[in-house]
Amino acid sequence: MARVRTLLTSLATIAASAVVVVATPAHAAVDEPPRPAFYEAPATLPAANGALIRSEAQTFLLDPANASSLHTFAKRVLYKSTNRAGRPIAVSGVVMVPKGAWIGVGSRPVIGFAAGTQGMGDRCAPSRQYSEGFEYEGIAIQGLLNRGYAVAVTDYEGLGTAGIHTYMDRVSQGHAVLDVIRAAQQLPGTGLSVNSPVGIQGYSQGGGAAASAAELASTYAPELKVKGAAVGAVPADLKAVATNLDGGLYSAFAFFALRGISSSYGVDLTPYLNAKGVQTMTQVEQDCVFDLFGHSFVKSSTLSYNGKPMSDLIALPQFATMIAEQRIGTTTPSMPVLVSHSALDDVIPYSVGRSMAKSWCGKGANVRLSTNVIPTHVGGYIPFGAEAALFFEGRFAGLPQISNCWAV
């Protein structure tokens, strides 16, 4: 079993207006299964973030006759983005646009959709799940399409494409969301342009990615006309989330995060794990979200080299900094933000989402915190979707959001 190797340093940028060399992705502990040729990055990438590399028709397993093409334009895309370390990478995704005329105010909006946890293996990527399996986010995405919005979904770094998925890496995920919107605006046949109104939406892992995109938009993608961001159950404080998950039903989420972030920072986990721990981290590299219950109720202390829990591991100096850098709530979003969270969330503590909202409020952001009491993390997803739909209707109609920061 090969050990996790550190990230190779990227080759220099050739020129700001030319092409750039593809960054070498983080190596997997095991060989990755062959992926469709579409997902393989070319030897060089465009210089511009969000530049479209290639596209092809998106197929749907649940629509073998391709009847959806009568009412929806759908393309799988490969586009250029930038990872946490500032290196150029290729990221995949899917863009869908209703073929019916937009009847709302102004031009058709596009939603940058950040999917919730898909897993770590390339086969888990949303653009592949649509064609090869079941994409659970498809219900929410279809709801947005039914309202006439275009939807641009990112697969994130290393999910679908080469390398390890940098699960819960704040900067990488935020960049991937913003850049898939840029790619959608360039894609022929969408009717979108740089002037299209933009929304950002995500729940759970997607909530973290969408919240990060909201924080980064004004500096990383200032040209995007972002009207609002709807974020739900945001894992804004990974230390608190990891402690809550340890030994529970969703233990695998914490393992995904440890594996993904350590690979993003080039940290070899092997010295900190026992044999069972090494085996577990190798397994999760190829797991999808529906495989996560194979790791349920596993205490991290049974995987560590010294029998101590993950909370002790991430307190070590070599981990503490990289975990702290994933904190969301330290940068002010430049657009109105809806924050939705169930007070009975069993995965991401409500206090984590509320603290993020309070921090944003303290920095002068326009935030509305919506608290529900639907039991469980999965249950909280239902009111979030309904709230997000109303939120975007108001923002795209030019109506102001009424902040409730005074009550947060």
What is the DSSP annotation of 117-145? --BSSGGGSHHHHHHHS--TTHHHHHHHH
CATH value at residue 83: 3.40.50.1820
Do 227 and 244 belong together in one domain?
A: no
Do 197 and 304 belong together in one domain?
A: no
Full strand arrangement of the beta sheet holding 225-232: 52-57, 72-82, 88-98, 150-154, 110-114, 197-203, 225-232, 337-342, 367-372
Do 233 and 291 belong together in one domain?
A: no
Look at residue 30 in the predicted model and tell me its pLDDT: 58
Do 221 and 367 belong together in one domain?
A: yes
Do 61 and 138 belong together in one domain?
A: yes
Look at residue 392 in the predicted model and tell me its pLDDT: 98
Do 169 and 292 belong together in one domain?
A: no
In sequence order, what are the residues at sequence separation of 6 or more whose Cβ sits closer than 8 angstroms to the Cβ of residue 390?
Answer: none
Do 191 and 218 belong together in one domain?
A: yes
**pLDDT averaged over consecutive 10-residue blocks of the chain (408 residues)?**
33 32 45 89 97 96 86 97 97 97 94 97 96 94 97 98 96 98 97 97 98 98 98 97 94 93 93 94 91 91 93 89 96 98 98 98 98 97 96 97 97
Compute CA distances 302 → 251, 286, 318, whole Å: 12, 21, 21
Q: CA 390, CA 335: separation in Å to the nearest integer?
A: 16
3-state class percentages of the chain: helix first, strand second, coil last, to nearest 5: 35, 20, 45
Q: Is position 191 within any domain?
A: yes
Q: Is position 388 within any domain?
A: yes
Look at residue 18 in the predicted model and tell me its pLDDT: 34
Q: Is position 112 within any domain?
A: yes
Compute CA distances 132 → 127, 148, 153, 154, 233, whole Å: 9, 26, 16, 17, 28
Domain end point (choices 276, 302, 324): 324
Q: CA 83, CA 175: separation in Å to the nearest integer?
A: 7
What is the residue range of 253's domain? 239-324
* β-bridge mates for residue 368, sequence order: 338
Domains held by the chain: number: 2
Q: Is position 287 within any domain?
A: yes
Give the predicted TM-score (pTM) of the model: 0.91
- How far apart are the two ends of the chain, measured CA to CA in Å? 49
Do 295 and 158 belong together in one domain?
A: no
Domain end point (choices 324, 354, 371): 324
CATH value at residue 263: 1.10.260.130
Domain end point (choices 298, 324, 350): 324
Do 263 and 372 belong together in one domain?
A: no
Do 112 and 196 belong together in one domain?
A: yes
Q: Is position 251 within any domain?
A: yes
Q: Is position 62 within any domain?
A: yes
Q: Is position 231 within any domain?
A: yes
Do 88 and 191 belong together in one domain?
A: yes
Strands 337-342 and 367-372: parallel
Do 374 and 320 belong together in one domain?
A: no
DSSP one-letter code for 397:
T
How does 15-35 read in b/e, with b if 16+ C-beta sit within 10 Å?
eeeebbebbebbbbbeebeeb
